Structure 1
Amino acid sequence: MTFGQSISTCFSNFANFQGRARRSKFWWLFLFSSVILFVIQVLLAFAPDGFPDSTAFAVTASSIIGIVLLIPFYAVDARRLHDTGKSGWLQLLVLIPCAG
């Protein structure tokens, strides 16, 4: 599966937590997310000094992009776990440190 097909499939099935996902879909979405967030950070690092509230804008832009990518990422992660024979609920284990 190509990069474009994989990203298109991940976003068209953004709320589908059933079924299976190939390893390539997971890693293409991970790469896509990383590149988007990296590009935002690089653009803001080279922003002119007069750019108003560049730190606030960087945090806001990264947060919005992160939230937009969060649900598709959790969905493809759950489908990837199903493909390995595990429950999709296992991805909630990463929230244990946050819950205290």
Structure 2
Amino acid sequence: MRSCLADDFLLTRLNRDDIEITSRYRGRRITSRELASTFRADGVPTTVVLSLQVECLLHLSGYVEPAPLRVLLAYLSARAYREVPYEAFRADPAGCGRASGMRTSPD
């Protein structure tokens, strides 16, 4: 799991209660609390995956077991969402990525 995350994703943490630290998002400076609200991070943990174009690809509220999370991250990492419904990918994660000729490296 850690190697998948390190290879294909930029990880960060956000304290949704912080009103002092600011981040730049879509050309604006906003507090961590405002950013959390933007991503509907109402509870912890919340996982949000953004595309390089800062579009939300995944929003998960609550704890997710490692096995299903691995499949979700593989789906996103392979960019399978562009061509394959998640349920089809989940049924055969390795086969869906190869069959469609999708790249597994970042854009």
Instruction: Give me the TM-score of the superposition, normalised by structure 2.
Output: 0.20
Higher relative contact order (CA 8 A, sep 6+): 1
Larger helix proportion, structure 1 or 2? 1
Instruction: Look at both structures and tell me which one has the larger radius of gyration over its CA atoms.
Output: 1
Q: TM-score by structure 1 length? A: 0.21
Which structure is higher in strand share?
2
